[in-house]
Structure 1
Amino acid sequence: MSVPERIADAITGHTRIVLVVLLLLTALVGAGMPMVDDDSSLSQFESESEEAKALERIDENFTSEQRENTTSVQLIVRGDNVLEKESLISSLEFQQELRADESINSTLVENQSISGVENVVAISAIRSERAAERNETGAQRQQRQEDGNNTTAASGDGAIRAQPSLEAQIEALEDLSDDEYERLLERTLSGESAEDNVAIAFMPSSYEPGSTQADTRMTSISQSTAGDGAGGMGGGAVSDEIIDSQLEIRELAETQDQEYLVFGGGVITDEINRSMGDSLAIVGPLAMLFVVVALLIAYRDPLDIVLGVVGIVAVLVWTFGFMGWADIAFNQMFVAVPVLLIGLSIDYAIHVFMRHREQRETDGTGGTVRGSMTIALGGVGAALVWVTATTVIGFLSNLVSPIGPIREFGVVSSVGIVAALIVFGALIPAAKIEIDEFLESRGFDRRKRAFGTGGGRFSDVLTVGSTAARRIPLAVILVVVLLTAGGAYGATQVDTSFQQEDFLAESPPAWTETLPGGMAPGEYHAKDDLEFVNQHFQREDSQAQILVEGGVDDDEFLAELNETRTDAATDDGIAYTLATGEADIQDPLSTMERAARQNESFNESFNAADTDDDGVPDENVSALYDQLFEVDGESASQVLHRTDGGEYQSARMIVAVQGNATASETTSEMRTLADDLEDGSGGSWTATATGDPIVSHIVEQDLLDTVLESLVITLVAVFLFLTIAYWLTGASASLGAVTLLPVAFSVSWILGTMYLIGMPFNVLTGMITSLTVGLGVAYSIHISERYRLELERQGNVWSALQTTVTGTGGALLGSAATTVGGFGTLAFAILPALRQFGIITGLTITYAFLASVVVLPTLLVLWTRYFGPDVSFDASGARSEPATASDGGTVSEQGDEK
């Protein structure tokens, strides 16, 4: 008796003990499920890259108290002319409403949390009025008005240092005549640069400075995230408080006479969450309906369906229970885990149930439930163990990744796969034996025909592979080679870029309007709003940086920095261009230039340090830094890091990035700038390109590299395992290579298909290679192992192949159809990421199935002819009717000699 047969005999001979032990284990492991947390932040995916470490040092040394733990909302007004006096007054009144709302006001930073064009113009009017009241001379009044216009943020981002009350601002604008308002507005918005005129920073990049006409402008709202772990659109998870407050801002904006667009991390997060819920509300019932219908067709027995579903639930309980006990958080990548486990669980269940049905039909009325299950588990058990082992090998290859969540993904998937083997190899068979014996003892006949056997349309379809193997094997091989070559080429062309828009829902299609209330999706605007913001304004979350460490107080440093800034401001670069035509770049030199325009004493020192009159200080740089900290310490601390001992260790350049620039483009250009800056140092300093877009790009590349590395490792490891396993069990080691070939084919096909349909290869869709290998190996092993057993039993290639493709092939068809239909319904999801995942998962399973039942039979016949046992190839000696059962490998009389 073989090892699989002994194990099967132990399970079926002690079913009640098996049930008690495994149910207790399920309860124990499942107790960990409530401990599973979720983590959707990108920071968890960061590896120990130099760029990530540089960003950490920036956060430690440069983030000021004013900017730390804050997020921003962009409140954008649109209309025919949003610079009319009535429009600005209306915006100020709206600010009053925002501050009067407690849920919003409680999230605002303490000082100058809301600022826009309306505030700058109103404050200029107030200061002009005060100057007139003091009977100042015309020159003095003009200077004070300019000072009002030049009011700048300590951090250079447009927030005003000290604002009069909103009531005073509204009154000041109302008191202006139309002519006075026009002159004041033109003067306020006619500055030559953003540093000279804060108001210009709130205008779109297409605005003509000095014009009194504009169809859009922006107001910035700063919210505090201290203590809640929230972040902006490019950072970590956004807290519920921030989400609720931003939604409240949007609700209030909808009640205004003017048209407002509210854009912030909370609004984005809310739409992603809602689109996920709406997607599940649509596809959930569809998926459940399809799976039930497919299982009814395959099983034709409600009790077996219930047992299968119970087994799937048990597998998920084991998996998520393990995550809880192991303190592993659920993140975006774990969306693929339930898909894999449900697919494999259905596969395991159908193979066990169908093999049991085949054996019961063979045993006839003289057989027993327990005896048939013993033989069935003995026959299919080896294949299930091999499927489990090879799939586990594939997912454990993720342990080579430097990224923690990917390693955890591999471990959790492996645990779930082992759980599927235990549940469907022991728990469910034991339960089925007890239930069927109980029912048959009371007169119920529990014998059912296995799906795909006994003739009919499904049998005819399943024999396509065996027929092609007998009649046109060379044609099959030629077509497969051509398709695989095309797929391999397409794989090299797949888009690997990532945009935030890829994860934002579009407006739901028209057909969703006919859905019942509970399934009808809501409205989505974030994707269109994001596109509008990218086209017209600087995104609050788009900043790249260069961290310079070392001799930043060298006399040559500022000259090199000036050259780098000039290069960054080129027309074809990624830097955001303000309405003034200048790139939005902040660094020590730009900060000193602004301070020089505002402070006469610092201006004298600045000019004195410029010995060659090129506008860039080239001596006494350290002393100039000291004076800058005295004049404007807040702005200086944003671009210079000074130790407690007064030494200058590092500086940074902040480049506002165009909203539509990809992370790849940003990374490439910023690295070039950093390299050029470092090349001019003579070894005095180092320069590192960093920032959220760059760190995110590195994460994406690490994920993609890991996927490719793990794919290669998986294919090699599975190849070695299968060749050794088949050799140890007495078959040719070459059968392992033959079994793996269809998997390699299907991987190529799916990547080529992604290229053809324009689907990106990102974090989520990249997991498809793991699914392809996991499910593809399972399908191929079932076919190869069943063929090997039937070849020994029947002694004729064509009879063995016929039995395999109708018996095991039928089980595979039921498994594949159920899984494809269930997860293919994700194609109707509102969330683009889910929709892509559903489509690509359905195609993956389809390709894996076709490779195993259409391509693999030809490969098995060729293997048998050149490397396999000595059996008959006589087609006339093949059975006219396919065999209906496997006896676990008992050898019958051989047919004709090969």
Structure 2
Amino acid sequence: MKTALIHFATERPRWVYALVGLLVLLTGALIPNIQIDTDPENMLPADDPARLFHNQVKADFALYDSIVVGAVAEGEQGIFNPDSLAIMHNLTDAILKLDGVVQADLMALSTSDNITQGDAGELRFEYLMRTAPATSEAARAIGDAVARLPMLDNTLVSSDGKAAAIYVPLYSKDDSYRVAEQIRALIAEQAPTDHYYLTGLPVAENQFGHEMFVQMAIAAPLAGAMIFALMWFFFRSVPLVLAPMMVAMTTVIATMGTLIGLGYTVHIMSSMIAIFLMPIAVVDSVHIMSDFTDRFRAGKDPKAVIQEVMRDLFNPMLFTSVTSAIGFYSLMLTPIPPVQVFGAFVGSGILLAFVVSILLVPAYVVRMKPATLAAMQQRLHGKAQGGVLARTLPKLGRVSVTRAKPILLVALGILALSAIGIGRIQINDNPVRWFKADHEIRVADRALNAHFAGTYDAYLVLTDHSPLATPAEIQKLNTALTLALPGDQEAQAQLQQGLAGQPAMLVTLLSTLDDAAFAASDDAQLEAIDQAMADLELLLEQSRRFLDPAVLEWMTGLQQQLQASGLVGKSNALPDIVKTVNRELHSGDDADFRLPASAAGVAQTLLQFQSSHRPQDLWHFVSRDYRQSLLWLQLTSGDNQHMTQVMAEVDQYLNAHPLPQGLSADWAGKAYINVVWQDAMVSGMLESLLSAFVVIFIMMSLLFRSPLYGLVAMLPLSLTIAFIYGLVGWLGKDYDMPIAVLSALALGLSVDFAIHFLERTRALHRQTGDVAQTFRLMFDEPARAISRNAIVIALGFTPLLLAPLVPYITVGVLMASIMAVSASVTLLLLPAVLKLLARWALPSQNTELNGGSHVEIRH
């Protein structure tokens, strides 16, 4: 296969051009169909239990993702002044008219109720701010009213009275960027003197998607320009440098076009595919060009030279491409779909780059004009050899050999320190932190979370799993229903469905019995119907666990514990509604801010609440059958470490105060989903890393036909990965998704350098038979090729440092570090280890490093 491919590339260059051009046209035509996806929920598979439960909770409790619009007033009166409230009132009215907004659930001062005592012990539900207040006294009265409403205090208005918020729920979170931009325009029209901010995870996620798209269009071309400039600096020939640039562009376009054409969305991870492939795709080209320019001289046949180069480099390039691809393919073992897609397409892109390199670069070289080749040869070889690499690398080679033991000791010390650093790593992520600290999203996040109880949501869902009735009660109901509605199979089916866990069917059965009472044939049947209805109503009453004051009292205790912990800014739950209404049903004093003593009393408060302007708010906290309820926790941080601490606090409370009989507690909400996929990512990354290590070791042993060389080849990648992640731990940098996937890159590229170094070392040693001569020659052209590759790849990622998005900056910094470390380890540690193991690794008659006969080496 090798001979056939080389022959085809050098003898049929026009065919190569045609095939590459066709590939670019076909795949490039698919790119306009791109779809952006930045939803963290999609970090989990669609059938993941945590994700399914989260979405079921949102559906059952009619919960929507919301944009939080906050206004902060710095004056003495705070937000409660006529001017500030007038602007907020006008803004709320305008937002209610926007498409995509769930009008009924929008929370604002002008859409929320004040609950007060009316005449004759009745409750009065009046809008807090039906119209904007005309006086300061009226504005302050609104603030006083909110302070008495625990569901709104520190959620809708800050406890210090300086800020107020509008919660804008959206039917689809995909509309958040559009709606946020419209809200910003509405705010600008109002020209407020207060500071207005927009925050919320939907805003952050979709804002990131918008800027990610822009970043893709800027960073990839900048990376290409940087790579072009570097290669021109190394090879001093624009025509020659065009070949690897064509390889890189072909690889990027074909890979991204295929990804989009297959229907995959572009997530934060897959958005980096182009950035990753642009430098990696030129790796093989740099080796080919470096070897070609070193061997070619005036008068030589370029076709013969490039064929000789390809024969020598084909095997190491094949194995480096395969091992690099394996490093990324290992990411497919993680349970995170976007990471799987990223690994699959970067791995495939690396293999594609190999194929395109071995075809396009030789085809391009054989079609270069003789004058161009002569000019290149004159620039590179017409003067005494020099350059930083040419002067530095031989010295580095001598140091690595003569200081072998100290170098090995330093490597072991670095490994030990890295192990300690790895133990300090903290796993954490937060979509809001994907932006720089001065980005408007981060500024808004800090400002609003400083004033309010928190703009991040988590839900603790309590579910009653206890049976609706005992066997004796079931038998009694069956008998009563048979007497009441003899032969009515539909009524029997309703009863069985209700007893099987669908209490709504029991309500339907009650209606059926009620209708039947009007058509009863005699007093006996009417009496039987009344008895059946009484039994059924008693059963329904008993099944409504979240009308039980004891259960609500348990929930109150949990709320108090969470508030005391300082981890939760505030919790909102069914007991807050019950106690607020109960207070106003009685004296209106704080002494009556308590739970009623009976389930009937609780039911009465909730019946009264349903007379408000927002009766649907009740069903955000309890299901209609009263067998499921949730606590809405407001958190001031979206970090998954924070959420993990909240979960631990709840677990501690549950251990000390067990759930009431038959109840279970489960988590939902975006903050919890982030924890789930982060945990899955860490365990998945560890599995993929270990698997790739094993596979690459086996491949190295097969390539070199030596387990010893297989182990030596693993040293650069092992030390590089340990050093980089140890550094992450020592610097206190959070271990997030971009950092996690860089292990695959370090895995692939570090072993790339090792393969080339070891393969060329063994080839030179077979020709010289002398260790000293082998290393002197090795630190000539081969070491230069490795160094050039490292520099090209490292600096090729530097445009990412200018990105406004933190994940891209992280990748840029760590990529440069990985390349610098892996190249240094390859050029320092491998020669030192080979020298110490020369008896087994480089056996020869003369293993002394001071001397040795001169042997003519073919380049």
- CA gap of 1:81–1:269, structure 2 versus 1, over 3 A, is farther
1:892 counterpart residue number: none
Matches within 5 A, 1:152-163: 160=127
Q: 1:202 is aligned with what amino acid?
A: L
Distance 1:669 1:430 in 2: 62
Pick one of 715, 718, 726 that aligns with 1:752.
726
Q: Is the 8 A contact 2:721 2:746 kept in 1?
A: yes
Q: Which amino acid aligns with 1:203?
A: V
What residue number does 1:349 align with? 285
Which residue matches 2:794?
Answer: 820
Q: Please identify, of 558-567 and 328-337, the stretch whose mean Cα deviation from structure 2 is larger.
A: 558-567
Equivalent of 1:194 in 137, 150, 162: 150
The answer to whether structure 1 residue 550 and structure 2 residue 456 are counterparts is no
Given that residues 780 and 852 in structure 1 are in contact (C-alpha distance below 8 angstroms), is that contact kept between their aligned partners in structure 2?
Answer: yes
Shift of 1:815: 1.8
Equivalent of 1:591 in 565, 570, 577: 577
Counterpart among 246, 249, 256 of residue 186 in structure 2: 249
Within 2, Cα distance between the matches of 1:634 and 1:90?
29
The match for 1:204 among 154, 158, 161 is 158
1:870 and 2:831 aligned: no
Structure 1 residue ranges without an equivalent (≥5): 128-138, 152-159, 208-213, 232-236, 508-523, 578-582, 602-606, 608-612, 886-898
Q: CA deviation at 1:29?
A: 3.6
- Who is 1:654 aligned against? 632
Change over 3 Å in CA distance of 1:739–1:558 after alignment to 2: farther
The structure that is helix-richer by fraction is 2
Aligned-pair CA distance for 1:289:
5.8
C-alpha spacing 1:464/1:282, structure 2 compared with 1 (3 Å): farther
Query: In the alignment, is the contact (CA less than 8 A) between 1:553 and 1:621 conserved in 2?
Result: no
1:624–1:802 distance in 2 versus 1, CA, 3 Å: farther
With over 3 angstroms needed to count, the CA separation of the structure-2 counterparts of 1:716 and 1:545, relative to structure 1, is same
| Residue 736 of structure 1: how far off its partner (Å) | 1.6
Relative distance call for 1:452 and 1:555 in structure 2 (3 A) is farther
Q: Which residue identity is paired with 2:733? A: M
State the 1:714 CA deviation: 1.1
Say yes or no: does 1:220 pair with 2:166: yes
Contact 2:461–2:666 (8 Å) recurs in 1? yes
Contact 1:569 1:575 in 2 (8 A): no
1:124-143 aligned at under 5 Å gives the runs none
Partner residue of 2:82 out of 85, 88, 93: 88
The answer as to whether partners of 2:546 and 2:628 remain within 8 angstroms in 1 is: no
C-alpha distance in 1 between matches for 2:253 and 2:175:
29
Q: 1:484 — aligned with what?
A: 415
Are residues 1:326 and 2:262 paired? yes
Q: Which amino acid aligns with 2:809?
A: R
Are 2:436 and 1:505 aligned?
yes
Query: Which stretch has the larger CA shift, 648-657 or 105-114?
Result: 105-114
* Secondary structure of 1:256's aligned partner: coil
Kept in 2: contact 1:803–1:882 (CA 8 A): no
The one of 403, 412, 431 aligned to 2:336: 403
Do the aligned partners of residues 452 and 202 (structure 1) sit closer, same or farther apart at CA in structure 2, a change above 3 Å counting? farther
Q: Which moved more, 1:633-642 or 1:763-772?
A: 633-642
Q: Offset at 1:444?
A: 6.4
Conserved in 1, the CA contact under 8 Å of 2:720 and 2:746? yes
What is the deviation of 1:41?
1.0
> Aligned equivalents of 1:590 and 1:294: distance in 2?
65
Q: Which residue of 1 aligns with 2:29?
A: 31
Deviation at 1:751, TM superposition (A): 0.9
* Structure 1 position 326, deviation (Å): 2.2
Q: Given the superposition, is the C-alpha separation of residues 281 and 326 from structure 1 closer, same or farther in structure 2, using an over 3 Å criterion?
A: closer
Output the amino acid matched with 2:553: N
Matched, 1:392 2:325: yes
For residues 137-185 of structure 1, give each alpha carbon's deviation from its aligned partner in whole angstroms, at most 9, with x where no partner exists: xx968989xx66x65xxxxxxxx59x64x3xx44xx35xxx7x648846
Does structure 1 residue 703 correspond to structure 2 residue 681? Answer: yes
Q: Which amino acid aligns with 2:185?
A: E
Describe how 1:488-567 pairs up with structure 2 within 5 A: 488-507=419-438, 524-551=439-466, 553-554=544-545, 559-567=550-558
CA contact (8 A) 1:796 1:877 kept: no
Which whole-Å CA distance do the structure 2 matches of 1:572 and 1:452 have between them? 77
| Deviation of 1:81 (Å) | 2.2
What is the aligned partner in structure 2 of residue 894 from structure 1?
none
Q: What is the distance in 2 between the residues matched to 1:556 and 1:99?
A: 36
Amino acid at match of 1:314: T
Alpha-carbon separation, structure 1, partners of 2:140 and 2:834: 87
Q: Is the 8 A contact 1:287 1:822 kept in 2?
A: yes
Shift of 1:242: 0.8
Q: 2:415·2:719 contact (CA, 8 Å) conserved in 1?
A: yes
Q: How many residues align?
A: 775
Match of 1:417 in 2: 350
Give the partner amino acid of 1:397. Answer: S
2-structure distance, mates of 1:554, 1:755: 48
Q: CA deviation at 1:386?
A: 0.2
> 8 Å contact 2:95–2:183 — kept in the other structure?
no
Aligned match of 1:74: 69
* Aligned equivalent of 1:115: 108
Report the Cα distance in structure 2 between the residues aligned to 1:325 and 1:386, rounded to whole angstroms: 29
One-letter code aligned to 2:348: V
Report the AA paired with residue 163 of structure 2: R
How far apart in 1 are the matches of 2:19 and 2:146? Answer: 77
Question: Structure 2 matches for 1:737-776, cutoff 5 A?
Answer: 737-776=711-750
Structure 2: give runs of 5+ residues left out of the alignment.
467-542
Is residue 2:312 matched to residue 1:379? Answer: yes
Give how far 1:652 is off.
2.2
**AA partner of residue 115 (structure 1):** A
- Specify which of 290, 303, 317 is matched with residue 370 of structure 1: 303
CA distance in 1, matches of 2:853, 2:742: 40
| Residues 460, 665 of structure 1: alpha-carbon distance in 2 compared, 3 angstrom cutoff | same
SS at match of 1:640: coil
Kept in 1, the 8 Å contact 2:435–2:442? The answer is yes
> Are the equivalent residues in 1 in contact too, given 2:38–2:206 (CA < 8 A)?
no
* Equivalent position of 1:795 in the other structure: 769
CA displacement, residues 674-710 of structure 1 (integer Å, 9 cap, x when unaligned): 6855983576232212221111111122122222221
Amino acid at match of 2:145: T
Shift of 1:306: 1.5
Residues 683 and 51 of structure 1: CA distance in aligned 2, closer, same or farther (over 3 Å): farther
120 and 554 in structure 1: CA distance in 2 versus 1, 3 angstrom threshold? closer
How far did 1:770 drift? Answer: 1.1
**Code of the aligned partner of 2:75:** D
Identity of aligned residues (%): 15
Quick check: 1:684 aligned with 2:662? yes
Backbone CA RMSD of aligned residues? 3.9
Q: Which amino acid aligns with 2:445?
A: L
Which residue in the other structure is 2:502 paired with?
none
- TM-score, normalising length: structure 2: 0.80
For the residue of structure 2 that corresponds to 1:700, the secondary structure is helix
Cα distance in 1 for residues equivalent to 2:682 and 2:674: 12
Q: Is contact 1:506–1:527 with CA below 8 Å preserved after alignment?
A: yes
Q: Match of 2:349, as an amino acid?
A: G
Displacement after TM superposition at 1:747 (Å): 0.5
